[in-house]
Structure 1
Amino acid sequence: MSLPTLHDLRRPLGGTGLTVSPLGLGTVKLGRDQGVKYPSGFTIPDDDEARMLLAQARELGINLIDTAPAYGRSEERLGPLLRGQRDHWVIVSKVGEEFEDGRSRFDFSAAHTRFSVERSLKRLETDCIDLVLVHSDGNDLHILEHEEVYQTLEALKQEGKIRGFGLSGKTAAGGLKALERGDCAMVTYNLNEQAERPVIDYAAEHGKAILVKKALASGHVCLSPGVDPVRASFELLFAHPGVSSAIVGTINPLHLAHNVATVANVLRR
């Protein structure tokens, strides 16, 4: 019996003209094992393991990959790993957060935004990044209203260096503000946390893109006995027409196959 895949379940990424798999692969674990909030430790996979994981994701119909400068070596590893496959992937990266010496620092200036995108283009070995999101420090409205990052991303889009931009924020107010001018908001939405749901409602009404982070509450979802937490999580997400894709960061091939099968079953009901 063949495994369920997501090849025929692509959905529009808002108004960007791109279509994406309902499940995206998060790659923080390809580049960084410090300062991450997972219930159990892990070992960063070597190149062969990472290559096999990406090949498996592609075979299962995943075409969306999420990375960031703050994910340690993730971007610089993905460049060579995805060589020759650029047309098969929609790549999401970020600006604003740097992770060095075990801690994060933030810079939302025009100069740093431009530097960061140019560096990501080199690392990812591409001449255009599909979507670049502002990696918020939590002060969403301040960043959008008083920093230069958003207008710089707008300029980079006009220059053809990025296809779309938006915010990976922490608040509903920030997500709503981000969608007024931007293409996408990345929101936290899961069985434990639903405060950013108004952003998804707005996106559905205005044809904007929503990517969901922490869809499985970073592995912390707890339910009553006999309920599959992964299935319950994806049922919640995909009950909302505004959700473009859920980003799940896994380096476990069995988890990846299970997540894909679950999403395929939920969407084909």
Structure 2
Amino acid sequence: MTIATLHDLHRPLGSTGLTVSPLGLGTVKIGRDQGVKYPNGFQIPGDDEARMLLRQARELGINLIDTAPAYGRSEERLGPLLRGQRKDWVIVSKVGEEFADGLSRHDFSAAHTRMSVERSLQRLETDFIDLILVHSDGNDLAILEHEEVYATLAALKAEGKIRGFGFSGKTVEGGLKALEQGDCAMVTYNLNEQNEKAVIDYAAARGKAILVKKALASGHVCLSPGVDPVRASFELLFTQPGVASAIVGTINPLHLAHNVATAAQVLRGH
């Protein structure tokens, strides 16, 4: 039996010129275990475990990795863990949210945005980051219209420090506004929450990129007996032409393999 992989199912990330696997690996769980919204507790994996998970993801055809300063030690751990593999990965990180001592705080100023990206470059041990998203606090339109973060990201893109930028928000209005000037919107879209579908449709019509967060509702999806929630989730997602990739934040190798096999089946129409 051949193992299902995503190697031949990579697709364009909007018009950025990047191609990404239809599933991306979210890395909040390798850096942070406080204040996270998962149904079950978990232990942050050690270096060997994390290294094996990254190797497994790569072997299964995943090339997209999602991190953020707000994910505790995620970025600084990924730097050493990904040494020598930069060409194998499309790296997405964020700006705007800091997490320390169990609390989040937000800063969307030009100075903080630039500092944050420079720090991410150092932590991730790279000269450029493929995509930086604004980590919204929920006031999406206010951030885009009155803060300096988006203009600063456009400047960092022009300088070659990032290849693309976008917005991880919480509202339809924010997602639409973010795509006017940005390359990508990260939206919540799953079996429980579909109110950001308008953003996906807008992106599809304009060649912009969509990344989906909480694709499996952070593990909270409940369906009738006998229905695989992962398959049902991916059937919903991958019928949307605008969706480039769904971020799945598992640290369980069996879950990762199941997610990949299921996504491959759905995408191949089996």
Same fold, TM exceeding 0.5?
Answer: yes
Partner of 2:180: 180
Partner of 2:135: 135
Partner of 2:84: 84
Partner of 1:125: 125
After superposition, the C-alpha distances for 1:18-48 in whole angstroms (9 at most, x for unaligned) are 0000000000000000000000000000000
SS at match of 1:8: helix
1:240 and 2:240 equivalent? yes
Question: Matched residues, percent identical?
Answer: 86
How far 1:200 moved relative to its partner?
0.2
Partner of 1:109: 109
Q: How does 1:193-204 map to 2 (within 5 A)?
A: 193-204=193-204
Which segments of 5 or more consecutive residues in structure 2 lack a partner in the other structure? none
Partner of 2:44: 44
SS at match of 1:225: coil
Partner of 2:211: 211
Q: How does 1:12-51 map to 2 (within 5 A)?
A: 12-51=12-51
1:262 and 2:262 equivalent? yes
Q: Residue 33 of structure 2 aligns to which amino acid in structure 1?
A: D
Partner of 1:71: 71
Q: Distance in 1 between matches of 2:252 and 2:78?
A: 17
Q: Distance in 2 between matches of 1:179 and 1:61?
A: 28
SS at match of 1:65: strand
SS at match of 1:56: helix
Q: Distance in 2 between matches of 1:109 and 1:100?
A: 19
How far 1:135 moved relative to its partner?
0.1
After superposition, the C-alpha distances for 1:147-175 in whole angstroms (9 at most, x for unaligned) are 00000000000000000000000001000
SS at match of 2:243: coil
Q: Residue 107 of structure 1 aligns to which amino acid in structure 2?
A: D
SS at match of 2:210: strand
Partner of 2:150: 150
Q: Distance in 2 between matches of 1:112 and 1:265?
A: 43
SS at match of 1:5: coil
After superposition, the C-alpha distances for 1:46-102 in whole angstroms (9 at most, x for unaligned) are 000000000000000000000000000000000000000000000000000000000
SS at match of 2:7: coil
**If the length of structure 2 is used for normalisation, what is the TM-score?**
0.99
Q: Residue 170 of structure 2 aligns to which amino acid in structure 1?
A: K
Partner of 2:228: 228
Which segments of 5 or more consecutive residues in structure 1 lack a partner in the other structure? none
Q: Alpha carbon RMSD of aligned pairs, Å?
A: 0.3
Q: Distance in 1 between matches of 2:108 and 2:129?
A: 18
How far 1:112 moved relative to its partner?
0.0
How far 1:2 moved relative to its partner?
1.9
How far 1:215 moved relative to its partner?
0.2
Q: Distance in 2 between matches of 1:227 and 1:259?
A: 15
How far 1:208 moved relative to its partner?
0.3
How far 1:232 moved relative to its partner?
0.2
After superposition, the C-alpha distances for 1:122-147 in whole angstroms (9 at most, x for unaligned) are 00000000000000000000000000
SS at match of 1:41: coil
Q: Structure 1 segments of 4 or more deviating over 2 A? A: none
SS at match of 1:264: helix
